[in-house]
């Protein structure tokens, strides 16, 4: 049996899989609130208590933070993942600790067509690289390099690179965010908290619920990005509509930046929790226009396939794929 974990800043998925072929089959999956735990080992312990102990052949965990050896510090949660402590439960079986986007990217070669929504068909190069961008609690990125005929996922912390404003409105947003926070990285704009930050800017008020009649005054701060997006998609508030429009364009532009850096002629994939929830906005055209707007590389960008990943457990699946490789090889 394979044990896989996908630990983000908000939620963690744990799963037992059977390694049947290139795509392991789930046997038991559980979801936990990341902030309810202090370590990776605690989540593993909770999962085993919920599902019963099984003989584990290999363990793979993707975590939302940079990995150094067998340890990773989560960026958006106050704890450290120590792989050595967790795998000791299983007699030190083969195990690996991955950046969460590196794990998610490992699932891309085994995704089915019904798990994807195409935003730009393009013309995929069978010999090209691919790339993955995923906005949720934070902003993750990964590249998939073509090595000996197969795509190999490579981690990145590109979500913490500098945000590049493209329009006068985005420049004004960056000026506003700089006053509040100092340096503005891409994640400050393209993420759940980015949706809220843009809405504060478009409403002209720090307290968005107080300024927006479409959002309840007593809303939990964690629910604010979804409420803003819902208001925008329903057309209930023009400031929310502008916020979502700015978010979508910034997301598309950064996806294009990543595609250029990876030369992702085999495809650019959009993962994370936000994209499926705002799919109609992504399909409206602004995302792809911003993605393509990379003169003098516009022709290259038009040829790159772009698709949204619908499977919410892609990160967990990717971790299971990597666990299977520890047993069977790539």
Residue 185 has a CB neighbour count (10 Å cut-off) of: 19
pLDDT tens digits along 265-287: 999 999 999 999 999 999 999 99
CATH of domain 112-310: 3.40.367.20
Instruction: State which H helix or E strand residue 72 sits in.
Output: strand 71-73
Residue-by-residue DSSP string for 73-133: E-SSSS-EEEHHHHHGGGTS-SEEEEEHHHHHHHHGGG--GGGEEEEE-----TTS-EEEE
Q: What pLDDT band is residue 106 in, cutting at 50, 70 and 90? A: very high
Instruction: State which H helix or E strand residue 180 sits in.
Output: helix 168-181
Tell me which fold the domain 2-106+313-328 belongs to. Nucleotidyltransferase; domain 5 (3.30.420)
Q: What pLDDT band is residue 260 in, cutting at 50, 70 and 90? A: very high
CA gap 73, 66 in Å, rounded = 7
State the pLDDT at residue 155: 92
Q: Which structure tokens are listed for 75?
A: 């960026």
Q: Which structure tokens are listed for 252?
A: 């598309």
Total-model pTM: 0.94
Domain ranges for the chain: 2-106+313-328, 112-310
Mean pLDDT across the chain, nearest whole number?
94
Q: What pLDDT band is residue 220 in, cutting at 50, 70 and 90? A: very high
State the pLDDT at residue 23: 96
CB–CB of 199/237 below 8 Å? no
Per-residue pLDDT for 54 more than 80? no
State the pLDDT at residue 180: 94
Least confident of 162-166, 215-219, 298-302: 215-219
Residues whose CB is less than 8 angstroms from the CB of residue 62 and which lie 6 or more positions away in sequence, other chains included: 5, 6, 7, 98, 99, 100, 101, 102, 103, 104, 315, 316, 318, 319
CB–CB of 293/256 below 8 Å? yes
State the pLDDT at residue 147: 96
| Same fold? 2-106+313-328, 112-310 | no
Per-residue pLDDT for 205 more than 80? yes
CA gap 126, 115 in Å, rounded = 20
Per-residue pLDDT for 330 more than 80? no
CA gap 102, 174 in Å, rounded = 29
Q: Is 232 exposed, middle or buried (0-12, 13-18, 19+ CB in 10 A)?
A: buried
């Amino acid at each position: 049996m394979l044990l896989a974990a996908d630990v983000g800043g908000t939620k963690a998925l744990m799963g037992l899989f059977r390694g049947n072929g290139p795509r392991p089959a789930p046997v038991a999956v559980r979801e936990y609130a990341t902030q309810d735990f202090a370590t990776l080992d605690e989540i593993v312990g909770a999962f085993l208590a919920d599902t019963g102990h099984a003989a584990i052949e290999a363990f793979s965990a993707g975590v939302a933070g940079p990995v150094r050896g067998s340890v990773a510090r989560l960026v958006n949660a106050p704890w450290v993942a120590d792989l050595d402590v967790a795998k000791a439960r299983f007699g030190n079986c083969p195990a690996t600790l991955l950046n969460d986007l590196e794990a998610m990217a490992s699932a891309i070669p085994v995704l089915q067509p019904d798990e994807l929504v195409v935003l730009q068909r393009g013309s995929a190069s069978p010999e090209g690289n691919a790339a993955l961008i995923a906005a949720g609690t934070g902003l993750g990125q990964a590249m998939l390099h073509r090595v000996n005929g197969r795509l190999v996922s490579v981690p990145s912390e590109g979500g913490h690179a500098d945000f590049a404003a493209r329009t006068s409105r985005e420049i004004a947003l960056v000026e506003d965010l700089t006053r509040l926070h100092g340096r503005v990285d891409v994640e400050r704009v393209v993420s759940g908290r980015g949706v809220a930050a843009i809405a504060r800017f478009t409403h002209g008020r720090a307290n968005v619920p107080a300024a927006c009649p479409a959002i309840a005054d007593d809303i939990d701060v964690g629910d604010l990005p979804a409420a803003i997006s819902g208001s925008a998609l329903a057309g209930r508030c023009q400031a929310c509509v502008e916020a979502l429009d700015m978010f979508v364009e910034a997301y598309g532009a950064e996806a294009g930046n990543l595609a250029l850096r990876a030369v992702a002629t085999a495809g650019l994939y959009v993962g994370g929790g936000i994209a499926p929830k705002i799919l109609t906005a992504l399909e409206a055209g602004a995302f792809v226009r911003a993605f393509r707007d990379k003169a003098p590389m516009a022709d290259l960008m038009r040829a790159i396939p772009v698709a949204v990943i619908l499977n919410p457990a892609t990160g967990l699946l990717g971790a299971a794929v990597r666990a299977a490789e520890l047993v069977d090889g790539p």
